[in-house]
């Protein structure tokens, strides 16, 4: 219903101010970002999170081959992400979208490097590493399964 009303009446102004923390030119302080910018960054981080969780799911499903165990481990990963301490290059840090986008996390950690851009690169990089790990694992499995067949053929 909200989508229909939004299409007919309009979705509203995306220049609505949202309080954030960042570089004000005079140091690290509070500033305003537009709602459209906030939603765009949330969309980018969400896409990165989807890629990361898909990569984790693929690796776990390839190694364990049991959907119940994979689902349980995914749920444990989500729970750990909420209690894990923030670390700059840990993908678990960027599961909490609002503190990253508004700069609250950067203010708490007193480090301006906790940004959406770094979060997106960490999530995509971690996803690439996991996919590469899965490909190498599959290559090794294929090599090990073919090797005994070759030895028996000789």
The pTM (predicted TM-score) of the whole model is 0.83
Give pLDDT tens digits for 51-65: 999 999 999 999 999
pLDDT at 19 over 70: yes
3-state secondary structure of 94: helix
pLDDT at 152: 61
Select, from the ranges 19-28, 66-75, 135-144, the one with the highest average predicted confidence (pLDDT). Answer: 66-75
The pLDDT value recorded for residue 127 is 97
The H-or-E segment that residue 24 falls in is none
Summarize the confidence of residues 29-44 as an average pLDDT: 89
- pLDDT on residue 8: 72
pLDDT tens digit string along 101-151? 999 998 888 888 899 999 999 999 999 999 999 999 999 988 888 876 665
Q: How far apart are CA 92 and CA 74, in angstroms?
A: 12
Closest CA to 122 of 52, 39, 73: 52
d(CA 146, CA 154): 13
* Whole-number percent of the chain with pLDDT over 70: 88
Say what the pLDDT of residue 146 is. Answer: 82
Percent of all residues in the chain with a pLDDT value above 90, rounded to a whole number: 56
Residue 14 near residue 35, CB atoms below 8 Å? yes
């Amino acid at each position: 219903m909200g989508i229909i009303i939004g299409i007919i009446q309009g979705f509203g102004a995306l220049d609505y101010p949202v309080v954030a923390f960042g570089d004000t030119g005079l140091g690290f302080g509070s500033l305003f970002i537009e709602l459209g910018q906030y939603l765009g960054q949330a969309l980018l981080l969400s896409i990165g999170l989807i890629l990361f969780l898909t990569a984790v799911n693929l690796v776990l499903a390839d190694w364990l081959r049991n959907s119940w165990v994979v689902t349980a481990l995914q749920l444990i990963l989500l729970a750990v992400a909420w209690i894990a301490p923030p670390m700059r290059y840990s993908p678990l840090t960027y599961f909490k979208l609002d503190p990253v986008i508004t700069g609250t996390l950067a203010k708490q950690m007193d480090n301006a490097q906790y940004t959406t851009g770094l979060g997106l690169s960490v999530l995509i990089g971690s996803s690439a590493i996991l996919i590469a790990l899965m490909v190498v694992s599959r290559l090794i499995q294929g090599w090990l399964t073919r090797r005994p067949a070759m030895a028996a053929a000789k």
